[in-house]
Amino acid sequence: MKTRGVIAVIISFTGLILMSASEAAIRQKQDILSRDFGYVIGDIVKRKIILEIEHPHTMSQEQIPKPGRINRWLELRRSDVQIKSHKEFSRYQIELEYQIFNSEPGHTEIFLPGFDLYITTSERTLPAVFHDRPIRVMSITEDDPSRSLEFLDLQPPISPQPVSEFSGWIKLGFAVLGICLSLFLVVYVYTVFPWIERLNGPFAQAARKIRSLRKSADMKDASHKALKHIHTAFNQTYGKVLLHDDLEMFFQKQPAFKKLQQELTSLFVYSRALFFDEPETSERTVSELLDICRQCRDVERGLL
């Protein structure tokens, strides 16, 4: 028993000597937390270790905590060390970032694990002890809010209302109507509208005007007016004034009218003779001019 007591005294005395030597080598020692309370699951806890060591002592970096899972509560996400050397000492700054992964319901106290850093010289190794640091963690919600007087249900459970099928049919009807209108618009734009334009082309308008001249009392004047209506239709189709000498260019630009090349050439020869060369030439009747205009109208509509 006496031997064990002596050994314990020697060990204690040796520890005191090492601690005194360690404190003599350490110029400054700080263990700083951003805060030690008010954490919840997922929060980051930052811990900063500052150690200033007198020359010629140095600190071994092997004992600095490495990133990784620590326990069911914590994981060390980042571990960085910065070293600045001054004239009389070296400054070590260690930054540790822990993340909280779990907690008990209510308020829980968990501990950031302590560790020892070792200060070495050519002769000996001295410890610098950093103890566990407690922090307070709160749960985000109560374990069972329905059993707590502080967290009453905002409203009793209500079964969902049945969905009305009527509104669905209305939406379907509007959708079908929209599709039908869209199809009608497409058909109208690409088929009906061009056909309507062809129905009201220059020769169709001229034919309607000539048809109204058949009841005129002065047939000679009516024949001249009918011929002018036909020339107006040719000018509108050609894009400018069309003369007898321009017929070949007209047929190249409007090849569909080449089917009536003989009739149109004869018509332009008659027109030039009537208005410019031979005033006494035999008159064409309104009906004859109407037949030629109708043939041009059929070509215009793509029917001939």
> What is the spatial distance between Cα 180 and Cα 190, in angstroms, rounded to a whole number?
15
Q: Is a pLDDT exceeding 50 seen at residue 24?
A: yes
Confidence of residue 17 (pLDDT cuts 50, 70, 90): very low
Q: Which domains does the chain have, with CATH numbers?
A: 17-140 (2.60.40), 199-300 (no CATH)
Exposure of 25 by Cβ count < 10 A (0-12 exposed, 13-18 middle, 19+ buried)? buried
Tens of pLDDT, residues 237-257: 888 988 888 889 998 998 988
Q: How far is CA 21 from the centre of its chain?
A: 66
What does the pLDDT read at residue 42?
Answer: 86
Kindly state the average pLDDT of the residues 50-75. 88
- Rg of the Cα trace of the chain? 54
The pLDDT value given to residue 182: 87
Residue 33 class from Cβ within 10 Å (0-12 exposed, 13-18 middle, 19+ buried)? middle
Is the model's pLDDT at 10 over the cut of 50? no
State the average pLDDT for the chain.
80
Only one residue has tokens 């260019």, namely 249
C-alpha–C-alpha distance, residues 67 and 75, integer Å: 7
| pLDDT of 55 strictly over 80 | yes
Q: Which two tokens stand for residue 194?
A: 């061009």
182-218 residue pLDDT tens: 888 877 666 655 566 667 788 888 888 888 888 777 8
pTM of the model: 0.42
**Contact yes or no for 72/106 (Cβ under 8 A):** no
User: What tokens does 251 get?
Assistant: 């047929």
Could you tell me if 54 and 89 are in contact, meaning their C-beta atoms sit under 8 angstroms apart?
yes
Better-predicted residue by pLDDT, 18 or 92 = 92
CA distances from 278 to 120, 270, 275 (A): 132, 9, 7
Residue 268 CA, distance from chain mean position: 65
Scanning the chain, the segments in alpha helix (DSSP H) are 2-25, 165-187, 193-199, 202-212, 219-238, 247-253, 261-272, 286-300
| CA-closest candidate to residue 264, choices 225, 282, 239, 237 | 237
pLDDT grade for 151, boundaries at 50, 70 and 90: low
Measure the CA–CA gap between 17 and 65, rounded to whole angstroms: 26
